[in-house]
Structure 1
Amino acid sequence: MGLEIESRPSELPHIERVWRSRSSDVARMTSVATSHWELVFWEHDGQVQAAVLGPEPKASPAPVPGDATFFGISFALGTSMPHVPVSRLVGGNVEIPDVTRRSVWLKGSAWHVPDYDNAEAFVRRMVREGIVDYDPIVPAVLDGTAPAVSERTLQRRFVAATGLTQGAVRQIHRAREAAVLIQEGVPAQDVVHLLGYFDQPHLARSLKRYVGRTATQLSAPDAAEPLSLLYKPSSPTPA
């Protein structure tokens, strides 16, 4: 009952995570802030739908259709769609029309709908056909080895590829990691020191903004309004 979520990492550099979920007897969830855009498919009452979901700069409530199944591909930072700029997707989404259980139309061609086990093959084709692109400057910025160009150029390309500033990504990643640590039983005061928050009020504000929960609420999950997929981001946090 509630919202059952399963996820896995991927060996493909274009993918941050692959996930699937099923809803039952739940009408609403808290959508946790995320720096990644996603391609999501879902089936409800026999109808299949798909959409591109942009990065979410803060936590927000979201409706959940009952007895529905979902499948999503969360794309790695630096991966983008040239024909749909990520900056236009931040906090929003674009519906993909004419989706069936077997096919989805992308850039004028019919594609087999991907699933949890073959997401990588689907994304590899997206790369081959130029539907998604990858800006290597973003992972370079994330691991601290960016090329010797101006800070303004780095920031401009980072925002163009991710839709967010380095500072926003840093805050989102830190809050998500803090939430996971608290759910694992790490005391809030320890999380403050581990992740470099100024103090517990600073941590509390961050959690409320990006996760939609207090530390106490994270320690006692609310089945009536569950959180969306929450995990420690695999991408490094930008300096």
Structure 2
Amino acid sequence: MGLEMESRPSDLGYIERVWRSRSEGVSEMTSVATSHWELVFWERRGEARAAVLGPEAQASRAPVPGDAVFFGISFALGTSMPHIPVSRLVGGNAAIPDVTRRSLWLKGTAWHVPGFDNAEAFVLRMVREGIVDLDPTVAAVLGGAAPDVSDRTLQRRFVAATGQTQGAIRQIHRARQAAVLIQEGMPAPEVVHRLGYFDQPHLARSLKRYVGRTATQLSSPNAAEPLSLLYKTCPWVPA
């Protein structure tokens, strides 16, 4: 009972992670803040749907269709769909019309609905047909390279490509890392030290805002009140 979830990383630079889940006996979850936008498909009682979900600036409660199967592609920071600007999707979504269990329409063309094992091929086609783009400067800076543009230009490009500032992305990333470490059993004082929080109250405020849980709640999760996807990532690079 609850929200069963499985995910995997991807070697494709356009994809952050691929995931799938199934809901049973749960109607609501806490949606953890995220800097990534996603393409999500779900099926319930023979009805198929799909949507582009934007980044989430803070944790929130979200409804979960009961007895449904979900599949999602979380896109890497710096990727975008030029015809649906990410900046307009922060905290929201855009439904994809005319979806069936096997097909969907994107920019006037029929596509096969992808799955957990062939997400990369689907995204590569999106790239070839100009539906997904990647800002090379943003991607390079995220990888640790020195920016070749001014700070103001870089910030503008970050917002255009991700819908958020570098500072907001950094805070969300750190809170998610903290939540994973606490779930794995690391004491809060050690998390504070490792991730550079000022003190435990600072950590507590961050967790409440971006994860929607206290350290105690993360240490003893309740299956009846599930969280959205949390996973280990590489440390944040840009200063």
Return 5+ residue gaps in structure 1 as ranges: none
In the TM superposition, residue 237 of structure 1 has moved relative to its aligned partner by: 4.1
- Partner of residue 144, structure 1: 144
- Partner of residue 212, structure 2: 212
- Partner of residue 14, structure 1: 14
- Give the counterpart letter for 2:77 in structure 1: L
After TM superposition, the score normalised by the length of structure 2 is 0.98
In the TM superposition, residue 142 of structure 1 has moved relative to its aligned partner by: 1.7
Q: Is the 8 A contact 2:144 2:237 kept in 1?
A: no
1:70 match: secondary structure = strand
1:148 match: secondary structure = coil
In the TM superposition, residue 198 of structure 1 has moved relative to its aligned partner by: 0.1
- Partner of residue 195, structure 2: 195
Q: Is the 8 A contact 1:7 1:17 kept in 2?
A: yes
Measure the CA separation in 2 of the matches of 1:32 and 1:54.
12
1:1-239 to 2 correspondences below 5 Å: 1-234=1-234, 236-239=236-239
Measure the CA separation in 2 of the matches of 1:4 and 1:78.
29
Return 5+ residue gaps in structure 2 as ranges: none
Q: Is the 8 A contact 1:143 1:236 kept in 2?
A: no
Q: Using the TM superposition, name which of 226-235 and 176-185 deviates more.
A: 226-235
Q: Is the 8 A contact 2:78 2:162 kept in 1?
A: yes
- Give the counterpart letter for 1:30 in structure 2: T
In the TM superposition, residue 143 of structure 1 has moved relative to its aligned partner by: 3.0
1:4 match: secondary structure = strand
- Give the counterpart letter for 1:228 in structure 2: S
Measure the CA separation in 1 of the matches of 2:75 and 2:35.
10
Q: Is the 8 A contact 2:23 2:68 kept in 1?
A: yes
In the TM superposition, residue 145 of structure 1 has moved relative to its aligned partner by: 1.4
Q: 1:237 and 1:222, CA in 2 relative to 1: closer, same or farther beyond 3 A?
A: farther
Q: Is the 8 A contact 1:142 1:235 kept in 2?
A: no
Q: % of aligned pairs identical? A: 81
Q: Deviations over 1:105-162 (max 9, x none)?
A: 0010000000000000000000000000000111222233133321000100111001
Q: 1:9 and 1:163, CA in 2 relative to 1: closer, same or farther beyond 3 A?
A: same
> In angstroms, what is the RMSD of aligned CA positions?
1.0
Measure the CA separation in 2 of the matches of 1:132 and 1:146.
25
Q: Is the 8 A contact 2:52 2:93 kept in 1?
A: yes
Q: Deviations over 1:65-104 (max 9, x none)?
A: 1110000000000110111110000000000010001101
1:160 match: secondary structure = helix
Measure the CA separation in 1 of the matches of 2:229 and 2:213.
14
After TM superposition, the score normalised by the length of structure 1 is 0.98
Measure the CA separation in 2 of the matches of 1:220 and 1:70.
25
- Give the counterpart letter for 1:216 in structure 2: T
- Give the counterpart letter for 2:6 in structure 1: E
Measure the CA separation in 2 of the matches of 1:70 and 1:43.
7
Q: Is the 8 A contact 1:181 1:191 kept in 2?
A: yes
